[in-house]
C-alpha cells in the first residue's frame, strides 16, 4: 500500500531547520505572512546570498502549458478542493489534477491541458463548471467535467487564483492572491481583470468566495477582508470585519447572513453581513480552518490544519472529529492512524463528509 | 617407455622436468619445506580484510556519481544504531533513555572512521524543529542546549520532536525508540589508512551495545608500571613531533593500579583465546606535556575486576545495522567456519585411510593440500592482500581440488605397486609420467577459469580470482613435486601382502565397476544422454528464476534468525524510514535551485517516483521547499506549491541547510531520496527504467521550448560534469595513497607532488570546460547513491557479466582441454557434462533461493574448476585404453579401476565433508555447502556416467591385428 502519510511522518525537520533563517524573516510581523509582491526583485529581496549569486535571469523561454500526467496515486497527492456537482464528485489539486468519482472511494483522473496546481472548482449547474489554480489558470467544462478547456494561463503573472464561483453558466468570478480578480460574463470566452478598487487596492489575497442566499457574493481574505457585491460582481463594498487575521472562506447563513472562518480557529457568524452584528463561535481550538461546508442537518463542518475537523450543529455546539487514514498495513489490517496532514476543503456526501487536503481525498462518517 | 625416436613433445618435456623431482629429492624437498615454513610465517600474519569499496563496481556509472557527490550527499557505508525501549516501557522521553541516547551518540561520534559531520540523532545540532507561530517562525535544536533531565524538558523535547517531523525517522513511529545515523569513511582522509572494520564492529558491540545491555562491566588496571620513552611514541602519536622534539626524551610511566581500559563483556570459548593475545591501546597525556602518548598494553600486564555498570539500562534494546557490523558478525563466525573446515579434513582423512589402507599414505594428500593452502595464504599476504571474509570459500576449494589430485596420485601409485609390482620409487616415477601432464593441464585449466573471473571489474572478485590462482599454483608445486617425492619414501612393507590387500579391497567394488562400465553400451549411453538433455532443459527453464541480488530483508550471509537480521527486522518494523534508500542526484547549474523551471523538473520527478511501484516515498529539495512555502503562507495547503517568483523561491529554500543532504553548497546538485519497499532486483530495475524514462521525456519537453540547446550539447555537458567529478575522485584517491605511503606528509609536500599538480591541473581543465558550457540544459537525474543505489549498480554489473563471464571461462577451459589432448572429441566429452553442471548450478541456486551477486558470481567458474579435473582424468584414461585396443566396455572398466575409482571416492568424500557445513553459524557457508555438495556430486556423476556415454559415440577402439593383445599405455 502506498502510504502518503509517511511523508508527513518523515518530514525531517532538518529540512525545515531554521539554521540560517535570516533576520528579515523575524521582522515579518503580523499574521499576513506572505507579503511577497510580484514586484521587481530589487525592491522586495533583501541581501540574500543565493539570490545574489544567482545567475542573471536568462531570457525566459515562453512557458508552455503542458497536459497533466495521468498517474496512479493522484487521489493521494495534494488535493485542494472538492465539489458535488449533483451528478459527480469532482476534486482538484496539485499538478493539474482533476479527479472524478461517483462513489467517493474510486476516483478516475481526467486529463486537463495544464500541470499547474489547481486550487478551486465551482459548477454553475451539472454541466458547466470552472477550475482555477496557480499560474492564473482557468479551465472550463461544458460536459459535466469530462473534458476541460483552458481559458486562461498566465504564469508570468506569478499570481495564483485561490477560489472561483460560477454564479450561472455565463457569469463567473475568479479570486486570487495579491488582489487578483477576474470576471467573465460570457461563460469564459473572454476573461478580464475586474475593477473593484474598494477591495483590490490593498493587493491582499482573496482566499475564498461564496454566494449568500440573497444572491450577494461575499469574498474573504487577508487582514480580515470581507468584500460584498450585490450585483453579481460588478461593484464591491468592503465590510466591517470582526477579525483582522486571514479569513479562508465563507458559508451562507439565513437570507443575508454568513459564517466566516480563518486562522487559528477563528469563526464568526452573523444573520446580516452588512448590518451585523458578528458573533464569535467558540471552537475551542487554535487550528486554522481552510475549508468548510454546510451539512444537510443545518450544521456546518469546518476542516483545516493538521487534520482538524470540527462539526458545528445548528446551535453552535462544537464537536472535534478525526479522520482515519484509509488503507492497510503490511499485515493487511486496517490502518489505525489519524490523518495528520492539513485539509483544504470538504463536501457532504452520502451521510458523511469527503475531505481533501495534503494527504489526498479522505472520507469520514458523521 | 618408448624410444627416443618415438618420444612425443610432451614426453620430452616430462623427461626434462623429471630430474628436478627425482635427481636430488632430498634437496628439493628441503627447499620446499623451507619455503613452506617461510610462507607459513608470512601467512600467520594474514588478517581478515573486508572492504565496502571493493565489493562495489567502482567503474559503474552509478558509482562514479556516488563518488563524485560523496562529500555532499554521503556514500552508502552507513552505521545505524537504534535504541528501543522494551515493550511496555513507554516512550523515550525519560531521563534514563535520553541519557543512554546521548551516551550512545557520543560513542558513535568517536567511532574510528566515522564521518563526524554525518552523525545524526536527536542530540546532534543538525536535528532541528520549526513551528509556525503568529508573526513568523520559531525554531531551534530539538534538544536544547540547556537540556536537563526533568519533566518539563521531557515534554519540550517530545513537542520539538513532533514539530520537527522527526517521528518515524529519528524516533520510532510510536516514539518508544530513537535512531543514531552515521556513516563510515573507508579510508582515513588524514592518514590514508584503511579502516579496520573488525575493530569498528568490536567497538559497536562492546562500547555501544554492551554499555547499555550489560549489568556489569570490567575495569582493567595495570599490574605493573608501564613505561615508554616519548620519542618512540612521537612517531606513533597523532601529531608528528618533527616540529618540536621533546626537550629531553624522558621515560614516561603509567603507574601500576591505573585504570587503563574497560569493557562490558568478556569473550568466551575460542574467542577468549584469540582475545588474550590482543593488546589494547591506552592514550595518556602526562602532566605538563602537550603530546598524548599512546601505549600498547598487553592483557597480561593488566588484571580486571567486575563492577556494576552505571550506564546499564534494563529498559532498552540496542539494534546495530551496517556493513561494519555485518563484517564483524561474519568474522566472529570465522573461527567456527575454520572448525568446519578442519572437521571436513578429518573426515576426509578417515575415509582416505579406509580407501588407501594405509594411514601414512592417506596423510599425503592432506599434507600436500594443507601445504598448498599455506602457500596460498603466504603468497596472498606477499601480494599485500588479506583474506576477505566473503571469500572464505576459496581456500577450501583449493583444498578440495588438491585433495582430488592427491587421491588420483596415490591411487595410481598404489596401482603401480599392487598390479605392476614396482617399488615405491619406480611407482612414483611411473605415476608421475602418467599423470603429470593431465594433472597439470587440469590444474592449468582451473587456473584459466579462475583467472578469467578476474575480468569482472569488482575488486573483491578480482581478489578471489588472484587468491584462487595463487592456490592453484601452489597445488602444482605440492601435488606434482612434493607428492611424488614423498611417495618415494613411503614404505608399504611386503609388496605382495600390500597387493593382496589392495585386491581384496578392490574386489568389493568390482561388481559396481562392472555395472558402470555398461555406460558405454549403446542403450545406457543413449538413456544417459537423454537424461542429461532433460536436466539441461529443466535447468534452463528453472535457471530463469534465479534472482539477481538479494531479495530478503537483512543480510543473506547471516542466518535469518541471527542477531543482525533480527536487528534489521526491529528497525524496519519500528521506523517509518526503511533501511532501503536510493538517492538520485539531480544535476544542473550552480545556483539553479532558485529557478522555478529547474525545481519544477525535480518536483515532477519526485512525484513520478512516488507513483512507481515498489517505492514507498521520496524526499527532495522541492518537496521540502513546498513545505516551507506553505509554512510562510499561514500553513495554507493551497500554497504547498513551488513559487514561480524567484524571490519567494529563495525564501522557500533558505531555511533548508545543506546538512539536510538535499542540496550541495552551490545548489548545482540536489539529492532525491527514494525510499524503496524492498531491494529486490526487479524493484530496482523498475526504478532504474522509470528514472531513464523520465530523463528522456523531461529533456524532450525541455528541448521543445529551449531551442538554443540540443541533446548533443547537453550530453557533452553532462560528460563534462562527470569529468570534473572523476578528476576530483582521482585526486582524492591519489592523495590517500600518497599519505599512506608517506605517513605524516605535510600539506606543502603534498601540494608539491608532481602527481598532485597534474591532477589539480586536470581538475582545472575539466572545470573550465564545464564552466564554458553555460547554456541551460534539462536537469540530469543521475543514478545513484546510497545503499540501494549501490545494489542497483552491482545488480546491473552482475547481470551484464553473468553470461559473458561464463562463456569466456568456458572458452578458456575448452582451449586448455584441447591443448591437453589435441582432439575435438575431448572437448565434446569433457565440456558437455561440465556445461550441464554449470547450468544446473544456476537452477539449484534458484531452487535454494540463493541470489546471483558478487559473492556468488564466481561460483560457476569455480564449479568448472572443480569438475574439469574429474573429466580430464577419466577421458584421458578411457581414450588411452581405447587407443590401446581395448573394447569399449573393457576400456571403461579399466578406466574406472584406474581413475574412476578415485573420482568417485573424491566426489563422495568431499561432499560428505562439506555436508557438515549445513550446521554452520553462517547462512553464507550453509548455502555454499549446499552448492558445493551439489557440484561435487553432479560433477562426479557427470564424469562417471555422462562423459563415457558421450565418448562411446565419438571414440573408436583401435583395430587390433588378429591375435594382438591390448597393452595399456599413456598416449602422450
Quick check: B126 and A9 CB within 8 A? no
Mean pLDDT of B535-562: 82
Which among B608, B624, B641 has the least Cβ separation from residue A117?
B641
ipTM of the complex model: 0.84
Measured between beta carbons, which residues in chain B are less than 8 angstroms from residue A34? 632-634, 639, 648
Minimal C-alpha gap between A57 and chain B (Å): 9
- Per-residue pLDDT, A139: 92
In which band, very low, low, confident or very high, does the pLDDT at A120 lie, cut at 50, 70 and 90? very high
Whether residue B2 is predicted with pLDDT greater than 50 in this model: the reply is: no
Q: Residue B954 contacts by C-beta under 8 Å, 6 or more apart in sequence?
A: B825, B828, B829
In which band, very low, low, confident or very high, does the pLDDT at B504 lie, cut at 50, 70 and 90? confident
Quick check: A33 and B632 CB within 8 A? yes
* Percentages (nearest 5) of helix, strand, coil residues in chain A: 10, 40, 50
Quick check: A19 and B657 CB within 8 A? yes
Quick check: A61 and B706 CB within 8 A? yes
- CB hemisphere CA count around B341 (13 angstroms): 20
Residue of B627, B634, B777 best to disrupt the A interface, most CBs of A under 10 A:
B634
Mean pLDDT of A311-323: 81
Given CB atoms, is B572 within the 8 Å cutoff of chain A? no
* pLDDT more than 90, % of chain B: 3
Measured between beta carbons, which residues in chain B are less than 8 angstroms from residue A36? 643, 645, 647-648, 651
More confident site: A219 or B233: A219
Q: CA-to-CA distance for A266 and A248, rounded, in angstroms?
A: 10
Quick check: B705 and A64 CB within 8 A? yes
In which band, very low, low, confident or very high, does the pLDDT at B884 lie, cut at 50, 70 and 90? confident
- Dihedral angle of Cα A87, A88, A92, A97, to the nearest 10 degrees: -120
- Per-residue pLDDT, A15: 36
Given CB atoms, is A44 within the 8 Å cutoff of chain B? yes
Q: CA-to-CA distance for B373 and B40, rounded, in angstroms?
A: 9
Quick check: A17 and B660 CB within 8 A? yes
Given CB atoms, is B701 within the 8 Å cutoff of chain A? yes
Q: CA-to-CA distance for A148 and A143, rounded, in angstroms?
A: 9
In which band, very low, low, confident or very high, does the pLDDT at B551 lie, cut at 50, 70 and 90? low
Mean pLDDT across chain B, nearest whole number?
Answer: 82
Whether residue A40 is predicted with pLDDT greater than 90 in this model: the reply is: no
Between positions 281 and 310 of A, the ones with CB within 8 A of B are 288, 290, 305
Q: Which helix (H) or strand (E) element contains residue B217?
A: strand B216-222
Q: Within 10 Å of residue A256's Cβ, how many Cβ atoms?
A: 17
Q: CA-to-CA distance for B806 and B390, rounded, in angstroms?
A: 21
- Dihedral angle of Cα B137, B141, B147, B150, to the nearest 10 degrees: 60
Q: CA-to-CA distance for B577 and B617, rounded, in angstroms?
A: 9
Q: CA-to-CA distance for B621 and B628, rounded, in angstroms?
A: 10
- Per-residue pLDDT, B244: 53
Whether residue A83 is predicted with pLDDT greater than 70 in this model: the reply is: yes
A105, B185, B198 from B194: Cα distances, Å: 57, 9, 12
Whether residue B6 is predicted with pLDDT greater than 60 in this model: the reply is: no
Minimal C-alpha gap between B162 and chain A (Å): 9
Residue with the three cell numbers 531520496: B673
What pLDDT, in 10s, does the model give residues B31-89?
Answer: 889 999 998 888 888 777 777 888 888 888 888 888 888 878 877 788 889 998 888 88
**Nearest chain B residue (CA) to A264:** B134
Q: Residue B476 contacts by C-beta under 8 Å, 6 or more apart in sequence?
A: B440, B443
- Per-residue pLDDT, B105: 92
Measured between beta carbons, which residues in chain A are less than 8 angstroms from residue B622? none
Given CB atoms, is B68 within the 8 Å cutoff of chain A? no
Which among A17, A33, A80 has the least Cβ separation from residue B655?
A17
Measured between beta carbons, which residues in chain A are less than 8 angstroms from residue B667? 50
Q: CA-to-CA distance for B820 and B417, rounded, in angstroms?
A: 27
Quick check: A19 and B128 CB within 8 A? yes
Which among B163, B643, B701 has the least Cβ separation from residue A66?
B701
- Per-residue pLDDT, B533: 92
More confident site: B841 or B259: B841
Whether residue B102 is predicted with pLDDT greater than 80 in this model: the reply is: yes
- Per-residue pLDDT, B311: 84
Given CB atoms, is A12 within the 8 Å cutoff of chain B? yes
Q: CA-to-CA distance for B510 and B503, rounded, in angstroms?
A: 10
- Per-residue pLDDT, A195: 83
What pLDDT, in 10s, does the model give residues B616-651?
Answer: 888 888 988 888 888 888 888 899 898 888 888 888
Residue of A4, A15, A177, A346 best to disrupt the B interface, most CBs of B under 10 A:
A15
Q: CA-to-CA distance for B82 and B320, rounded, in angstroms?
A: 6
Given CB atoms, is A69 within the 8 Å cutoff of chain B? yes
Q: Within 10 Å of residue B514's Cβ, how many Cβ atoms?
A: 12
Between positions 142 and 161 of A, the ones with CB within 8 A of B are 155, 158, 160
- Name beta bridge partners: A302: A292, A310
Measured between beta carbons, which residues in chain A are less than 8 angstroms from residue B623? 7
Q: CA-to-CA distance for A120 and A182, rounded, in angstroms?
A: 14
- CB hemisphere CA count around B43 (13 angstroms): 20
* A60-64, A220-224, A272-276: which is most confident: A220-224
Written as nine digits, the cell of B142 is: 530539538
Q: CA-to-CA distance for A271 and A291, rounded, in angstroms?
A: 20
Q: CA-to-CA distance for B667 and B505, rounded, in angstroms?
A: 80
- Per-residue pLDDT, A317: 81
Quick check: B608 and A69 CB within 8 A? yes
Nearest to B928 by CA among B945, B943, B916: B916
The full DSSP string for B422-448 is --HHHHHHHHHHHHHHHHHHHHHHHHH
With H, G, I as helix, E, B as strand and everything else as coil, classify residue B681.
helix
In which band, very low, low, confident or very high, does the pLDDT at A61 lie, cut at 50, 70 and 90? low
What pLDDT, in 10s, does the model give residues B445-468?
Answer: 888 888 888 888 888 888 888 888
- Per-residue pLDDT, B386: 82
- Per-residue pLDDT, B240: 47
- Residue B679 CB-density burial (10 A; 0-12 exposed, 13-18 middle, 19+ buried): buried
- Per-residue pLDDT, A175: 92
Angle formed at CA A138 by CA A136 and CA A139, multiple of 5 degrees: 150
- Per-residue pLDDT, B237: 43
- Per-residue pLDDT, A24: 29
Given CB atoms, is B556 within the 8 Å cutoff of chain A? no
The values of phi and psi at residue B114, to 5°, are -75, 140
What pLDDT, in 10s, does the model give residues B572-589?
Answer: 888 876 678 888 998 888
Whether residue A26 is predicted with pLDDT greater than 60 in this model: the reply is: no
- Name beta bridge partners: B82: B179, B319
In which band, very low, low, confident or very high, does the pLDDT at A335 lie, cut at 50, 70 and 90? low
- Per-residue pLDDT, A45: 34
- Per-residue pLDDT, A328: 63
- Per-residue pLDDT, B915: 82
Q: Sign of dihedral through CA atoms B837, B841, B847, B848? A: positive
Whether residue B277 is predicted with pLDDT greater than 80 in this model: the reply is: no
Q: Lowest mean pLDDT of B231-235, B266-270, B769-773, B947-951, name the range.
A: B231-235
Measured between beta carbons, which residues in chain B are less than 8 angstroms from residue A41? 646-647
Q: Sign of dihedral through CA atoms A139, A141, A145, A146? A: negative
- Name beta bridge partners: A118: A133
- Residue B642 CB-density burial (10 A; 0-12 exposed, 13-18 middle, 19+ buried): buried
**Are the C-beta atoms of residues A120 and A132 closer than 8 Å to each other?**
yes
- Per-residue pLDDT, A334: 64
- CB hemisphere CA count around B83 (13 angstroms): 32
Given CB atoms, is B173 within the 8 Å cutoff of chain A? yes
Between positions 638 and 677 of B, the ones with CB within 8 A of A are 638-641, 643-648, 650-651, 653-657, 659-662, 666-667, 675
Q: Which helix (H) or strand (E) element contains residue B183?
A: strand B177-183
Quick check: A73 and B611 CB within 8 A? yes
Q: Give, to the nearest 10 degrees, the angle between helix B393-420 and helix B901-915.
A: 150
Quick check: B645 and A53 CB within 8 A? no
Q: Which helix (H) or strand (E) element contains residue B138?
A: strand B136-141
Given CB atoms, is A41 within the 8 Å cutoff of chain B? yes
In which band, very low, low, confident or very high, does the pLDDT at A8 lie, cut at 50, 70 and 90? very low
The values of phi and psi at residue B309, to 5°, are -90, 110
Angle formed at CA B109 by CA B108 and CA B114, multiple of 5 degrees: 85
Nearest to B362 by CA among B308, B416, B403: B403
Nearest to B780 by CA among B592, B643, B611, B647: B592
Whether residue B794 is predicted with pLDDT greater than 80 in this model: the reply is: yes
Residue of A6, A13, A39 best to disrupt the B interface, most CBs of B under 10 A:
A13
Whether residue B3 is predicted with pLDDT greater than 80 in this model: the reply is: no
Sheet (strand B216-222) strand order: B259-263, B216-222, B302-308
Written as nine digits, the cell of B408 is: 588420483
Quick check: B647 and A36 CB within 8 A? yes
- State the pairing for strand pair B280-284/B302-308: unpaired
Written as nine digits, the cell of A59 is: 531570457
Between positions 747 and 806 of B, the ones with CB within 8 A of A are 776
Q: Which helix (H) or strand (E) element contains residue A248?
A: strand A247-253
Which among A12, A62, A115 has the least Cβ separation from residue B166?
A12
More confident site: B239 or B122: B122
Quick check: A14 and B657 CB within 8 A? yes
Given CB atoms, is B133 within the 8 Å cutoff of chain A? no
Q: Residue B357 contacts by C-beta under 8 Å, 6 or more apart in sequence?
A: B498, B501, B502, B505
Quick check: A16 and B166 CB within 8 A? no
Measured between beta carbons, which residues in chain A are less than 8 angstroms from residue B589? 55
* pLDDT more than 70, % of chain A: 80
Mean pLDDT of B167-194: 82
Specify the DSSP class assigned to residue A323: -
In which band, very low, low, confident or very high, does the pLDDT at B208 lie, cut at 50, 70 and 90? confident
Q: CA-to-CA distance for B496 and B612, rounded, in angstroms?
A: 79
Amino acid at each position: 500500500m502506498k502510504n502518503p502519510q509517511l511523508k508527513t511522518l518523515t518530514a525531517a525537520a532538518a529540512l525545515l531547520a531554521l539554521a540560517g533563517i535570516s533576520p528579515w524573516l523575524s521582522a515579518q510581523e503580523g499574521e499576513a505572512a506572505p507579503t511577497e509582491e510580484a514586484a521587481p526583485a530589487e525592491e522586495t529581496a533583501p541581501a540574500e546570498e543565493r539570490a545574489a549569486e544567482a545567475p542573471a535571469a536568462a531570457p525566459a523561454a515562453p512557458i508552455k502549458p503542458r497536459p497533466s500526467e495521468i498517474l496512479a496515486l493522484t487521489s493521494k497527492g495534494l488535493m485542494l478542493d472538492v465539489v458535488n456537482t449533483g451528478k459527480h464528485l469532482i476534486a482538484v489539486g496539485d499538478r493539474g489534477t482533476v479527479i472524478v468519482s461517483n462513489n467517493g472511494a474510486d476516483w478516475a483522473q481526467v486529463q486537463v491541458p495544464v500541470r499547474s496546481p489547481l486550487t478551486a472548482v465551482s459548477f454553475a449547474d451539472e454541466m458547466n463548471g470552472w477550475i482555477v489554480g496557480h499560474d492564473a489558470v482557468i479551465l472550463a467544462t461544458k460536459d459535466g467535467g469530462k473534458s476541460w478547456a483552458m481559458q486562461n494561463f498566465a504564469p508570468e503573472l506569478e499570481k495564483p487564483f485561490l477560489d472561483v464561483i460560477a454564479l450561472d453558466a455565463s457569469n463567473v468570478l475568479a479570486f486570487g492572491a495579491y488582489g487578483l480578480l477576474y470576471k467573465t460574463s460570457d461563460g469564459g470566452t473572454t476573461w478580464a481583470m475586474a475593477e473593484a478598487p474598494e477591495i483590490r487596492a490593498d493587493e491582499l489575497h482573496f482566499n475564498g468566495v461564496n454566494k449568500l442566499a440573497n444572491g450577494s457574493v461575499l469574498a474573504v481574505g487577508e487582514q480580515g477582508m470581507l468584500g460584498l457585491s450585490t450585483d453579481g460582481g460588478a461593484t464591491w463594498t468592503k465590510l466591517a470585519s470582526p477579525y483582522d487575521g486571514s479569513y479562508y472562506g465563507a458559508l451562507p447563513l439565513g437570507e443575508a447572513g454568513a459564517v466566516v472562518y480563518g486562522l487559528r480557529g477563528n469563526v464568526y457568524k452573523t444573520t446580516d453581513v452588512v448590518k451585523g452584528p458578528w458573533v464569535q463561535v467558540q471552537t475551542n481550538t487554535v487550528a486554522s480552518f481552510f475549508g468548510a461546508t454546510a451539512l444537510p442537518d443545518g450544521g456546518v463542518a469546518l476542516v483545516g490544519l493538521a487534520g482538524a475537523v470540527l462539526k458545528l450543529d445548528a446551535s453552535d455546539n462544537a464537536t472535534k472529529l478525526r479522520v482515519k487514514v484509509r488503507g492497510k498495513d503490511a499485515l493487511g489490517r486496517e490502518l489505525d492512524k489519524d490523518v495528520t496532514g492539513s485539509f483544504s476543503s470538504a463536501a457532504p456526501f452520502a451521510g458523511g463528509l469527503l475531505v481533501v487536503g495534503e494527504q489526498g481525498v479522505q472520507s469520514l462518517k458523521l | 617407455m618408448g624410444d627416443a625416436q618415438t618420444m612425443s613433445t610432451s614426453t620430452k618435456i616430462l623427461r626434462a622436468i623429471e630430474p628436478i623431482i627425482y635427481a636430488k629429492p632430498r634437496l628439493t624437498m628441503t627447499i620446499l619445506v623451507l619455503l613452506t615454513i617461510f610462507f607459513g610465517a608470512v601467512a600467520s600474519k594474514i588478517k581478515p580484510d573486508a572492504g565496502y569499496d571493493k565489493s562495489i563496481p567502482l567503474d559503474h556509472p552509478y558509482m562514479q556519481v556516488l563518488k563524485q557527490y560523496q562529500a555532499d550527499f554521503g556514500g552508502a557505508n552507513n552505521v545505524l544504531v537504534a535504541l528501543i525501549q522494551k515493550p511496555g516501557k513507554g516512550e523515550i522521553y525519560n531521563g534514563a533513555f535520553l541519557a543512554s541516547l546521548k551516551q550512545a551518540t557520543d560513542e558513535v561520534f568517536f567511532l574510528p572512521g566515522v564521518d563526524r559531520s554525518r552523525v545524526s540523532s536527536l542530540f546532534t545540532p543538525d536535528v532541528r524543529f520549526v513551528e509556525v507561530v503568529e508573526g513568523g517562525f520559531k525554531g531551534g535544536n530539538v534538544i536544547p542546549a540547556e537540556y536537563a533531565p526533568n519533566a518539563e524538558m521531557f515534554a519540550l523535547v517530545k513537542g520539538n520532536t513532533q514539530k520537527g517531523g522527526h517521528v518515524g525517522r529519528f524516533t520510532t513511529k510510536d516514539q518508544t525508540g530513537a535512531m543514531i545515523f552515521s556513516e563510515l569513511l573507508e579510508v582515513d582522509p588524514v592518514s590514508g589508512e584503511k579502516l579496520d572494520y573488525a575493530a569498528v564492529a568490536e567497538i559497536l558491540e562492546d562500547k555501544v551495545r554492551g554499555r547499555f545491555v550489560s549489568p556489569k562491566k570490567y575495569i582493567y588496571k595495570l599490574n605493573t608500571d608501564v613505561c615508554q620513552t616519548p620519542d618512540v611514541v612521537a612517531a606513533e602519536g597523532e601529531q608528528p613531533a618533527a616540529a618540536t622534539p621533546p626537550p629531553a626524551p624522558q621515560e614516561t610511566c603509567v603507574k601500576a593500579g591505573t585504570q587503563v581500559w574497560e569493557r562490558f563483556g568478556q569473550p568466551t570459548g575460542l574467542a577468549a583465546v584469540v582475545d588474550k593475545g590482543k593488546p589494547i591501546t591506552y592514550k595518556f597525556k602526562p602532566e605538563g606535556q602537550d603530546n598524548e602518548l599512546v601505549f600498547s598494553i598487553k592483557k597480561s600486564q593488566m588484571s580486571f575486576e567486575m563492577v556494576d555498570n552505571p550506564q546499564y539500562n534494563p529498559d532498552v534494546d540496542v539494534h546495530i545495522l551496517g556493513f561494519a557490523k555485518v563484517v564483524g558478525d561474519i568474522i566472529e563466525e570465522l573461527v567456527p567456519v575454520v572448525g568446519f573446515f578442519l572437521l571436513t579434513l578429518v573426515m576426509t582423512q578417515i575415509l582416505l585411510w579406509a580407501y588407501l589402507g594405509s594411514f601414512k599414505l592417506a596423510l599425503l594428500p592432506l599434507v600436500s593440500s594443507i601445504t598448498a593452502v599455506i602457500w596460498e595464504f603466504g603468497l596472498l599476504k606477499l601480494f599485500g592482500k588479506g583474506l576477505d571474509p566473503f571469500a572464505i570459500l576459496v581456500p577450501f576449494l583449493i583444498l578440495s581440488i588438491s585433495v582430488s589430485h592427491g587421491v588420483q596420485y596415490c591411487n595410481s601409485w598404489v596401482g603401480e605397486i599392487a598390479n605392476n609390482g614396482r617399488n615405491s620409487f619406480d611407482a612414483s616415477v611411473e605415476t608421475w609420467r602418467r599423470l603429470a601432464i593431465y594433472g597439470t593441464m587440469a590444474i592449468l585449466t582451473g587456473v584459466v577459469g579462475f583467472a578469467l573471473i578476474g575480468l569482472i571489474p569488482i575488486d573483491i572478485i578480482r581478489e578471489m580470482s588472484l587468491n584462487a590462482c595463487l592456490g592453484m599454483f601452489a597445488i602444482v608445486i605440492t601435488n606434482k613435486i612434493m607428492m611424488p617425492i614423498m611417495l618415494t619414501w613411503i614404505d608399504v612393507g611386503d609388496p605382495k601382502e600390500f597387493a593382496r590387500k589392495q585386491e581384496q579391497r578392490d574386489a568389493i567394488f568390482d561388481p559396481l565397476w562392472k555395472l558402470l562400465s555398461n555406460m558405454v553400451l549403446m542403450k545406457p549411453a543413449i538413456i544417459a544422454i537423454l537424461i542429461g538433455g532433460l536436466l539441461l532443459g529443466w535447468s534452463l527453464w528453472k535457471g530463469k528464476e534465479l534472482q539477481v541480488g538479494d531479495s530478503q530483508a537483512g543480510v543473506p550471509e547471516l542466518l535469518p534468525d541471527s542477531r543482525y537480521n533480527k536487528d534489521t527486522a526491529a528497525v524496519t518494523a519500528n521506523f517509518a524510514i526503511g533501511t532501503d534508500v536510493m538517492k538520485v542526484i539531480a544535476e544542473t547549474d550552480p545556483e539553479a535551485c532558485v529557478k522555478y523551471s529547474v525545481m519544477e523538473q525535480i518536483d515532477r520527478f519526485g512525484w513520478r517516483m512516488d507513483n512507481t511501484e515498489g517505492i514507498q516515498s521520496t524526499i527532495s529539495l522541492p518537496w521540502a521547499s513546498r513545505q516551507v512555502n506553505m509554512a510562510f503562507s499561514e500553513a495554507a495547503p493551497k500554497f504547498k506549491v513551488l513559487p514561480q517568483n524567484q524571490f519567494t523561491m529563495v525564501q522557500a529554500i533558505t531555511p533548508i541547510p545543506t546538512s539536510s543532504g538535499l542540496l550541495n553548497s552551490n545548489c548545482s546538485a540536489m539529492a532525491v531520496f527514494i525510499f524503496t519497499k524492498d531491494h529486490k532486483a526487479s524493484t530496482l530495475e523498475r526504478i532504474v527504467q522509470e528514472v531513464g524514462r523520465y530523463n528522456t521525456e523531461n529533456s524532450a519537453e525541455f528541448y521543445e521550448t529551449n531551442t538554443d540547446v540540443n541533446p548533443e550539447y547537453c550530453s557533452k555537458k553532462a560528460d563534462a560534469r562527470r569529468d570534473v567529478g572523476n578528476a576530483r575522485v582521482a585526486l582524492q584517491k591519489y592523495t590517500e595513497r600518497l599519505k599512506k605511503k608517506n605517513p605524516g606528509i605535510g600539506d606543502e609536500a603534498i601540494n608539491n607532488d608532481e602527481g598532485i599538480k597534474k591532477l589539480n591541473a586536470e581538475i582545472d581543465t575539466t572545470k573550465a570546460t564545464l564552466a564554458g558550457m553555460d547554456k541551460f540544459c534539462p536537469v540530469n537525474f543521475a543514478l545513484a547513491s546510497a545503499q540501494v543505489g549501490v545494489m542497483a549498480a552491482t545488480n546491473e554489473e552482475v547481470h551484464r557479466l553473468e553470461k559473458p563471464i561464463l562463456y569466456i571461462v568456458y572458452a578458456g577451459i575448452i582451449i586448455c582441454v584441447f591443448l591437453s589432448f589435441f582432439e575435438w572429441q575431448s572437448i565434446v566429452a569433457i565440456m558437455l557434462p561440465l556445461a550441464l553442471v554449470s547450468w544446473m548450478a544456476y537452477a539449484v541456486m534458484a531452487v535454494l533461493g540463493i541470489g546471483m551477486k558478487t559473492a556468488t558470481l564466481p561460483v560457476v567458474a569455480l564449479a568448472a574448476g572443480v569438475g574439469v579435473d574429474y573429466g580430464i582424468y577419466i577421458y584421458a584414461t578411457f581414450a588411452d585404453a581405447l587407443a590401446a585396443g581395448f573394447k569399449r566396455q573393457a576400456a571403461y572398466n579399466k578406466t574406472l579401476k584406474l581413475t574412476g575409482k578415485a573420482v568417485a571416492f573424491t566426489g563422495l568424500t568431499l561432499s560428505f565433508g562439506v555436508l557438515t557445513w549445513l550446521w554452520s553459524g553462517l547462512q553464507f557457508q550453509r548455502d555454499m555447502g549446499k552448492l558445493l555438495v551439489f557440484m561435487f556430486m553432479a560433477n562426479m556423476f557427470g564424469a562417471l556416467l555422462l562423459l563415457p556415454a558421450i565418448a562411446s559415440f565419438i571414440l573408436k577402439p583401435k583395430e587390433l591385428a588378429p591375435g594382438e593383445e591390448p597393452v595399456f599405455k599413456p598416449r602422450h
